Amino acid sequence: MNLPALSFEFFPPQTPEGAAKLVNVRGQLAALQPEFFSVTFGAGGSTQERTLDTVLQIKAEGYAAAPHLSCVGSTRDNIRKLLHTYREAGIGRIVALRGDLPSGMASIGEFHYANELVAFIRAETGDHFHIEVAAYPEFHPQARSAQDDLKNFKRKIDAGANSAITQYFYNPDAYFRFVDASTRLGVSAPIVPGVMPIVRFSQLARFSDACGAEIPRWMRRTLEGYGDDVESVQAFGLDIVVQLCEKLIAGGAPGLHVYTLNQAAAPLEILKRIGYQ
């Protein structure tokens, strides 16, 4: 089996201990020679400094780093400054998002949707950045319809995005159908599946409820049934995610983007089982 390129996602650590731990996690994952490490950006810019610091640290360690950049609640001026900081620091890839307005934050700011951010990045910095955008094989929770969401996805590609990373999912058919439907709309940019390892059920259920990623009933019931038996949850999760990745690769997925939650153990185990060395 031909193994596609990997990328790994981190969130910016909150403490010096978290940052030190992440250096170690990165060192372990770097052995798999990923194309890049990405770093999330807190809604409304809440982690702006920490995202920047983490990205610069990754770059200083000699790896390719891609900051996420969400535009909701922000201004053109602020985004422009960040783009120039990243460009000057030698960063060549950005994950461009709308983000979600944090509760209590009143103003949506100067951007409404991610396609506007993509167009702004292109207008400000030309072809400097490789721009990734988000895609939703099970559709974004706020989308008016599946068809509408697909058209909105295409807007981001038409605005100048180079490739996409998906929300995680456990039903490979949703991904393959999304890719086919996008191709029929004229999208030829690679759509890389986002992969979420299953480590703790309560945490996964919370994320999934918030972002609209479905945990199929048979999986949910099985995971619930394990209760506090963490070993069984992890063994089951490992099987599920390994099989999912194998199906995605066999079906032609152009890469795998792993949501690490700043842990190396689960991603390493999954990827080694698939054959990554």
User: Taking CB under 6 A as the criterion, which residues in 123-152 touch ligand FAD?
Assistant: 134, 140, 142-143, 148-149, 152
CB of 271 to ligand FAD, least distance (A): 18
Which stretch in 39-47, 85-93, 197-205, 221-229 sits in contact with ligand FAD by CB under 6 A?
39-47
The minimum distance between CB 113 and ligand FAD, in angstroms, equals 3
Question: DSSP label at 44?
Answer: G
Q: Which residues are catalytic?
A: 9
What letters, b where the CB count within 10 A reaches 16 and e where it falls short, cover 28-47? ebbebebbbbbbbbbbbbeb
Q: Which of 163, 167, 208, 234 binds ligand FAD (CB under 6 A)?
A: 167
* The only residue of 12, 34, 50, 68 in contact with ligand FAD, by rule CB under 6 A: 68
Does residue number 260 form part of the binding site for ligand FAD (CB under 6 A)? no
Closest approach of ligand FAD to the CB of residue 232, in Å: 29
Rounded CA gap, 128 and 130, in Å? 7
- Between CA 70 and CA 48 the distance in angstroms is 10
CA-wise closest residue to 62 among 39, 40, 37, 28: 37
CB-nearer residue toward ligand FAD: 110 or 232: 110
Sole binder of ligand FAD in the list 160, 194, 237, 267 (CB under 6 A): 194
R_g of the chain computed on alpha carbons = 18
Q: Which is nearer to ligand FAD, 153 or 236 (CB)?
A: 153
Shortest distance, CB of residue 115 to ligand FAD, whole angstroms? 5
From CA 126, how far away is CA 30, in angstroms rounded? 30
Contact 59, 90 (CB under 8 A): yes
Specify whether the CB–CB gap between 21 and 54 falls below 8 A.
no
Letter string b/e over residues 97-113, b meaning 16 or more CB atoms within 10 A of that residue's CB: bbbbbeeeeeeebbbee
**Of positions 6, 12, 37, 40, contacts ligand FAD by CB under 6 A:** 40
CA 117 to CA 66: how far, in whole Å?
A: 16
Judged by beta carbon, residue 57 or residue 115, the one nearer ligand FAD is 115
* Residue 188 binds ligand FAD (CB under 6 A): no
DSSP code of 276? -
Cβ(15)–Cβ(266) below 8 Å = no
Q: Is 97 in the site for ligand FAD (CB under 6 A)?
A: yes
**Cβ neighbours of residue 112 closer than 8 Å, sequence gap 6 or more:** 98
The single residue among 165, 196, 233, 244 that binds ligand FAD, judged by CB under 6 A, is: 165
Residues 229-258 that bind ligand FAD (CB under 6 A): none
Binding site for ligand FAD (CB under 6 A): 40-41, 43, 68, 70, 95, 97-100, 113-115, 134, 140, 142-143, 148-149, 152, 155-156, 165, 167, 194
